[in-house]
A and B are shown apart, each in its own frame.
Chain A
Amino acid sequence: MKAVLAIARREIDAYFASPLGWVSLSAFLVVTGFMYASILSDFSQQSTTAAFNPYMADQYNLNNWVLPGFFGNWSVILLFIAPAISMRMFSEDMRQRSFELLLSSPVSSGEIVLGKYLGALGFLGLMFGATAHYVLILYWLGTPDPGVLASSYLAVFLLAASFIALGMLASAFTVNQVVAFVTTFGALLVLWVLSWTESILPGTAGTVLSAASMLSHLDQLTKGLLHLEDAAYFAGFIGFFLFATQQRIESMRWR
């Protein structure tokens, strides 16, 4: 476990030792900040009107309007940011030949994968941590439901963690980071739009494909509802890609 943590720690440091980490972090904060500001200003204008309508005033609050819209936007931003985080995970090591240090050290391929993945999640955690001021502002403005807030954060974290797991596998297949980025982005887009198939494809096929889509599992979470099947979907998704990456790394010894 010490080796896993050492690998994770080095991964986090590597993000901040290169422009990639800073650029991803800045881009994420700038775009989410812009969306946050526009949603809040929109909410503030609308709420003035809503204040005169007793029914609307009851419905129109931070939890129902601001949080779902805001975190819903995050999922789109993460479609771009997550591949940027994952693209270097193995590609960089393979390109600069530092991978041989890991391969010749007494750590298993599973530990290497886990260490790198935890490192990327650590960076993701720091990135999300840097959005704490959005939450503080909400508390200053009103009374957001801490449950909805927590589950919204959990939802986007699970989503990004799934994106990164898929991206890590892509990065284990190529020394070229751009190829890893594009492959991940393309695969994520396909998984994203699978939910549309329910309306196009009638019957079981449409339902199954839609159930495989990320969007269908995200909706409930961003409303503050944590269902077992949604949690299982993300856990299964992440587990599958971690396992596939471990198998890929192991197979490299034999190719």
Chain B
Amino acid sequence: MIEVEKLTRRFGAHTAIEDVSFKVERGEVVGFLGPNGAGKTTTMRILSGCIGATQGRALIDGMDVLEKPREVKSRVGYLPEVPPLYGNMSVGDFVAFAARIKGVDDAEAAATRAMEQVGLLDVRERIIDHLSKGYRQRVGLAQALVHDPDVLILDEPTSGLDPAQRREIRELLRALAEGERTVILSTHVLGEVEAVCERVIIINEGHIVARDRIDALAARSGAIRLRVARPGDDLPGVLRSVPGVREVEAQPDGSWLVHADDDVREQVARAVVDRGLLELAINQQLEDIYLRLTRGGEA
């Protein structure tokens, strides 16, 4: 379990995060979202024990990260945005080294297990510098997993990967998130969060602006995205006539964004079909909620 209480971190005059508090229950998979520079990495580095907090505290399984660093770190696996690798080592040697410094008794066996989990056994003899970016990311994941941590902190694990590699890592994350492991995952790819996480924490300019289950957040936000085959000129009028709808916006991709006070998906769908317009998709997207929150709105 992760508890963050009023965490503040300053770098000189710059305040990276301020009064950040949240809780992640055991076994939960939480997406940590926010624009660049919002304070995601700072929060994750504090949780992993790499840096200290100026104020407040972070607890892992009830233990303060700064007071009991050794105990906490042996329970936490951390994959920074740039995977921390020794490029001139072979994959197998590197993962075994990571196991040794993390205090694993049988380092070789642990390394083999971790490499198996992330699909690295075939390249265990290869030098890390000679691997593709996707594989290097897997090696980073293997070092984070090698001591079988209860808590996994992953900072943009799919950044810079091509769509195929991203999909592979996403599949891996889904497998890793099963069971009792607590996972915090930061990413820019919102689809990833929707695919893997149950809950999101959104941080903007060093402050938490939302923390909730994805569906609850979507329901509260009231924005839905609608795609209609053959949208006629009367579509905006039809949508506005639905009770509860406040605003209708045409989107560049041909879809329509409908803002309402409540969840009006059912009413909107009925109205569209009644007018003889074929509805293709209607959904509430995390992207819309995210953009609204990080541009100053409130959920």
- A residues engaging B (CB < 8 A)? 2-3, 6-7, 10, 13-14, 17-18, 96-108, 253-255
Q: Which residues of A contact B50 (CB under 8 A)?
A: 100, 103-104, 253
Q: Is B89 an interface residue (CB 8 A)?
A: yes
State which of A18, A99, A105, A255 has its C-beta within 8 Å of the C-beta of B101.
A105
Q: Is B73 an interface residue (CB 8 A)?
A: yes
Closest B residue, CB atoms, query A13: B89
Q: Which residues of B contact A18 (CB under 8 A)?
A: 88
Q: Is B165 an interface residue (CB 8 A)?
A: no
Q: Which residues of A contact B102 (CB under 8 A)?
A: 3, 105-106
**Cβ of A253 and Cβ of B51 under 8 Å apart?**
yes
Closest B residue, CB atoms, query A112: B101
Contacts A/B (CB < 8 Å), 12 sampled: A3-B102, A17-B89, A97-B80, A97-B82, A100-B50, A100-B80, A101-B84, A103-B50, A104-B49, A108-B69, A108-B70, A254-B51
**Cβ of A101 and Cβ of B143 under 8 Å apart?**
yes
Give the A-B contact count at a CB cut-off of 8 A: 75
Tell me the smallest distance from the CB of A10 to a CB of chain B, in Å.
Answer: 5
State which of B71, B73, B78, B97 has its C-beta within 8 Å of the C-beta of A6.
B97
Tell me the smallest distance from the CB of A118 to a CB of chain B, in Å.
Answer: 14
Q: Which residues of A contact B70 (CB under 8 A)?
A: 106-108
Interface mask (B76-117 → A, CB under 8 Å = 1, otherwise 0): 101010101111110001000110111100000000000000
Tell me the smallest distance from the CB of B127 to a CB of chain A, in Å.
Answer: 9
Q: Which residues of B contact A107 (CB under 8 A)?
A: 70, 101
CA distance A7 to B93 in the complex (A): 12
Most buried by B among A2, A6, A96, A255: A6
Closest B residue, CB atoms, query A10: B97
**Cβ of B74 and Cβ of A104 under 8 Å apart?**
no
CA distance A96 to B48 in the complex (A): 19
Indicate the size class of the contact surface on chain B.
20 to 34
CA distance A13 to B207 in the complex (A): 44
**Cβ of A97 and Cβ of B97 under 8 Å apart?**
no
Q: Which of B256-295 contact A (CB under 8 A)?
A: none
Tell me the smallest distance from the CB of A199 to a CB of chain B, in Å.
Answer: 47
Q: Which residues of A contact B84 (CB under 8 A)?
A: 97-101, 104
Tell me the smallest distance from the CB of B213 to a CB of chain A, in Å.
Answer: 29
Tell me the smallest distance from the CB of A127 to a CB of chain B, in Å.
Answer: 19
Q: Which of B107-152 contact A (CB under 8 A)?
A: 143
Tell me the smallest distance from the CB of A2 to a CB of chain B, in Å.
Answer: 6
**Cβ of B85 and Cβ of A6 under 8 Å apart?**
no
**Cβ of A101 and Cβ of B98 under 8 Å apart?**
yes
State which of A13, A17, A104, A106 has its C-beta within 8 Å of the C-beta of B103.
A106
**Cβ of A106 and Cβ of B73 under 8 Å apart?**
yes
CA distance A103 to B85 in the complex (A): 13
CA distance A3 to B73 in the complex (A): 14
Given contacts A2-B103, A100-B78, A101-B101, 13 further A-B contacts (CB under 8 A): A2-B100, A3-B101, A3-B102, A3-B103, A17-B88, A96-B86, A98-B84, A98-B85, A100-B84, A101-B84, A105-B102, A107-B70, A107-B101
Q: Which residues of A contact B82 (CB under 8 A)?
A: 97
Top 4 A-B residue pairs of the complex, sorted by shortest distance between their CB atoms: A6-B100, A101-B84, A17-B88, A106-B73
**Cβ of A3 and Cβ of B87 under 8 Å apart?**
no
Q: Which residues of B contact A106 (CB under 8 A)?
A: 69-71, 73-74, 101-103
Tell me the smallest distance from the CB of B137 to a CB of chain A, in Å.
Answer: 13
Q: Which residues of A contact B98 (CB under 8 A)?
A: 101, 105
CA distance A18 to B88 in the complex (A): 8
CA distance A102 to B103 in the complex (A): 12
Q: Which of B27-80 contact A (CB under 8 A)?
A: 45, 48-52, 69-71, 73-74, 76, 78, 80
Q: Which residues of B contact A96 (CB under 8 A)?
A: 85-87
Interface mask (B154-191 → A, CB under 8 Å = 1, otherwise 0): 00000000000000000000000000000000000000
State which of B73, B88, B97 has its C-beta within 8 Å of the C-beta of A104.
B73
Q: Which residues of B contact A101 (CB under 8 A)?
A: 84-85, 98, 101, 143
CA distance A253 to B66 in the complex (A): 11
State which of B45, B73, B80 has its C-beta within 8 Å of the C-beta of A105.
B73
Q: Which of B197-247 contact A (CB under 8 A)?
A: none
Q: A101-B143, A106-B70, A106-B73 are in contact. Are A3 and B52 (CB under 8 A)?
A: no
**Cβ of A14 and Cβ of B100 under 8 Å apart?**
no
**Cβ of A255 and Cβ of B100 under 8 Å apart?**
no
Closest A residue, CB atoms, query B70: A106
Interface mask (B11-33 → A, CB under 8 Å = 1, otherwise 0): 10000000000000000000000
